[in-house]
Amino acid sequence: MLTEKTILVTGGTGSLGKVLVRRLLKNELGVPRKIIIFSRDEAKQHEMRMSYMNKQAATDEIIFRNFQRVLDFRIGDVRDFHSVAEALRGVDVVFNAAALKQVPTCEYFPYQAVMTNIGGPENIVRAIQELNLPVETVVGVSTDKACKPVNVMGMTKSLQERIFIQANMRCPETRFICVRYGNVLASRGSVIPLFHDQIRNGGPVTITTSDMTRFLLSLDQAVDTIFAAYKGAKRGETYIPRVPSARVTDIAAALIGDSPVKMVVTGIRPGEKLHEILISEEECHRAVDREKYYAILPMLPELLEDQEFTPALKNEYSSADNVMSPEEVVKMLHQYQLMLNDNPQEDGELLR
């Protein structure tokens, strides 16, 4: 499906971007012609380039060979229309993973979040539209916080979704689709690195409220969702993975283990939800089954094309549903730690 395609990954040096690129280099969706890593951090690009150059294991041979052949690092910023337009020339597929994603940062610097999370997607769409670029597919990466948003990060990512979905009308030759998922285990910006820092410093581990729940999935599951959407989503659809959720107290307890570290409840911070939502009560009537995923059909009637469908849900899809037991949380974290051990170049640490 991606054989001989030129792929642009914005935010390609982030936690998700690095795993996405590694999976693309394994030729999971075909053998690409070129993969462009587009980001504004030259240090992260250098670090990523060196991590591939230093690969020696036989199991990395395909990735190493493809890295030499197809990977192209480019400095640029999704906020800047001209650098986005230049990066898009000759591109067939775009994965937009560039984002400001830390909730407190976005609250203190809301317009910075607007410029990256809203202005960036608009620049991609505008460049395709105004320059008549023959881009086949754009995949926008979103978050559960975009559903019924209560914080700046979620609000801006929600608008990213709407910009990309409506772009199917502005650029009818390009398919614009989205993915939306919950907290990615051990990625930058997640709660797990914070808990680890607190544990290393002797505690306490701070919990905002004992009832809080969050969806959990691995970086590879996030990439699975992106690949599933690329393969199966129709114009304007948003793919949602069916993933388990956990109480934040159970996550903290699993990370603390036998350490003499206490948990302290500090109260919900501004912009936080008790439970996250992946599909709202309004969207559930437009959600359909797609094997391991739900697909939210577009709200705009011009994109629905009067297709008939059977809703897959009767209520919103919340992290308060299907909460894992403490034992299941420990098992999940152990399994993911084994994956991290097999891929030491990736971000993340779980169990100590």
What's the one-letter identity of residue 72? Answer: D
Reference 253, options 325, 184, 311; nearest CA is: 325
- Which candidate, 319, 220, 219, 242, places its Cα nearest to that of 288? 242
Residue 257: CA atoms inside 13 Å, Cβ hemisphere, count?
13
Q: For residues 58 and 49, give the distance between their C-alpha atoms in angstroms, rounded to a whole number.
A: 18
157 catalytically annotated = no
Task: Please confirm whether the linkage preceding 204 is cis (ω < 30° from 0).
Answer: yes
Joined tokens for residue 179:
């993915």
Provide CB contacts within 8 A for 296, sequence distance 6+: 180, 237, 238, 240, 279, 283, 286, 287
List the catalytic residue out of 18, 101, 145, 157. Answer: 145
Q: Is 189 helix (H, G, I), strand (E, B) or coil?
A: coil
- List Cβ neighbours of 168 (8 Å cut-off, separation of 6 or more): 174, 175, 176, 235, 236, 298, 303
Identify the residue whose tokens are 């990066």. Answer: 87
CA torsion, ordered 339, 344, 347, 350, to nearest 10 deg: 50
The first and second tokens of residue 274, run together, are: 């008790």
Tokens standing for residue 324:
């894992």
Burial of 17 (0-12, 13-18, 19+ CB in 10 A): buried
Residue 16, C-beta contacts closer than 8 angstroms, at least 6 positions apart: 97, 141, 184, 187, 219, 222, 223
Give me the phi and psi of 140, to 5 degrees please: -95, 130
Residues marked active site are found at 145
